[in-house]
Amino acid sequence: MPRIISAAESVPPNVMKQDQVMEFAEELFSESFKDIKRLLNVFHNGQINKRHFAKDLDWFSQDRSLEEKNNAYLDTAITLGTEAIIDCLSNRLFLKEDVPYEEIDAIFTISTTGLATPSLEARIMNILPFSPHTKRIPIWGLGCAGGASGLSRAFEYCRAFPEAKVLVLSVELCSLTFQRNDHSKSNLIGTSLFADGAACVLVCGQESDYRKIQKQESSPQIFATRSTLMPDSLDVMGWDVKNSGLYVVFSKDIPSITENWLEPNISEFLSSHDIAIDQLDHFIAHPGGKKVIEAYIKGLGIDSEKADISLNVLREFGNMSSATILFVLKRFMERAKKGDVGLGAALGPGFSSELLLMRWD
């Protein structure tokens, strides 16, 4: 079965403390909400300490056109994506030796926070010496589920081509979608939560030379995946595309949906592989927010300790949409041991879920 051999991440240099962003939001939203002080509790309740943004706060205080935002997206996404790929293919924590760029068969590029045609990996291939025959699979529109979905598609690719080495690159610049004239509660919540970052993982097929390059005693082998779409749920999460850019759609019902809808989905998936929830050593969850993590714990009946890594990533980086679960996965790869079984889970627009079962082998 395909396995994940290396992982790396990259974040922009602008570090924003949560109190700084809260003060910015108070100034912006105070005229729209009479109870702004109470609503601003969302910044503290989310337990996020800091985030990384593509631009400093002064940049967001002015009106920006879609063109300006997307140009900023392209510049930063190419930089972060390039950094993440370089680190992933040379990371001495996971690799005995560098993986040559020309040995990469395909790049799955995940992003939903900007537009790029040619896509991001084509632009990065003009910077790094990949083979011109590298297959490009850009995936757009999966939002927070995108990182897990990218892993699932890479798994399927490496099952079809067991000698392959492929990259899953996720780049999300959520801050650049901020709308200073959108005074909705969804935008306020998004302002308290979303952040920027990139991550890259190397997935190798069973018949590749992964044993030659793998440094860790064991690596996560993906052995099953499941994609699920909830019917008639288009208004739960996503973007409204307007003249000035992308406006966040963020239902207040996401935590309750997570608690009530996801549990039977996960239970059925696990039982089809003769695994019970209490047999999982690791829960590799995309931290959509503190309330979403709490809904996972309550709905699945798992120990809260299994969500500690997800909560730590949320605390230190915020919600970076699709990239966040890859940040979480990297930390599990640094400490998991041979024989461990983990479940990866992420929710996204659709409304949808992506699930992966992994065994450290």
With H, G, I as helix, E, B as strand and everything else as coil, classify residue 16. strand
Q: Which of 7-21, 245-259, 278-292, 326-340 has the lowest mean pLDDT?
A: 245-259
Is residue 282 within 8 Å of 341, Cβ to Cβ?
yes
Looking at per-residue pLDDT, the higher value among 44 and 93 belongs to 93
Which pLDDT band holds residue 130 (cuts at 50, 70, 90)?
Answer: very high
Domain boundary among 188, 213, 238: 213
* Residue 13: cis peptide before it, omega within 30 degrees of 0: no
Whether 155 and 18 share a structural domain: yes
User: 57 burial class (0-12, 13-18, 19+ CB within 10 angstroms)?
Assistant: middle
One domain for residues 110 and 193: yes
Same domain membership, residue 206 and residue 236? no
The residue among 323 and 217 whose pLDDT is bigger is: 323
d(CA 353, CA 66): 29
User: Are 92 and 204 part of one and the same domain?
Assistant: yes
- Beta bridge mates, 221: 3, 359
Q: Known catalytic residue: 144?
A: yes
For residue 146, the model assigns a pLDDT of 95
pLDDT tens string 141-196: 999 999 999 999 999 999 999 999 999 999 999 999 888 777 777 777 778 889 99
- The parent domain of residue 255 ranges over 220-360
Q: Which of 88, 144, 200, 204 is catalytic?
A: 144
- pTM over 0.95? The answer is no
Please tell me the predicted confidence (pLDDT) of residue 249. 77
Q: Does 180 share its domain with 38?
A: yes
Beta bridge partners of 138: 109
pLDDT more than 70, % of the chain: 99
Q: Summarize the confidence of residues 32-52 as an average pLDDT.
A: 78
Number of domains in the chain: 2
Q: Are residues 10 and 110 in the same domain?
A: yes
Question: What's the CATH number where 340 sits?
Answer: 3.40.47.10
pLDDT score recorded for residue 342? 93
Q: Domain check: are 187 and 259 in the same one?
A: no
Same domain, 68 and 121: yes
The domain boundary, picked from 178, 213, 248, lies at 213
Are residues 233 and 164 located together in one domain of the fold?
no
> Across the chain, what does the average pLDDT equal?
90
**Domain end point (choices 181, 213, 245):** 213
Q: Span 237-241, mean pLDDT?
A: 80
> Confidence band (pLDDT; 50, 70, 90) for 237?
confident
Same domain, 183 and 304: no
135 and 259 in a single domain? The answer is: no
Residues 160 and 53 in one domain: yes
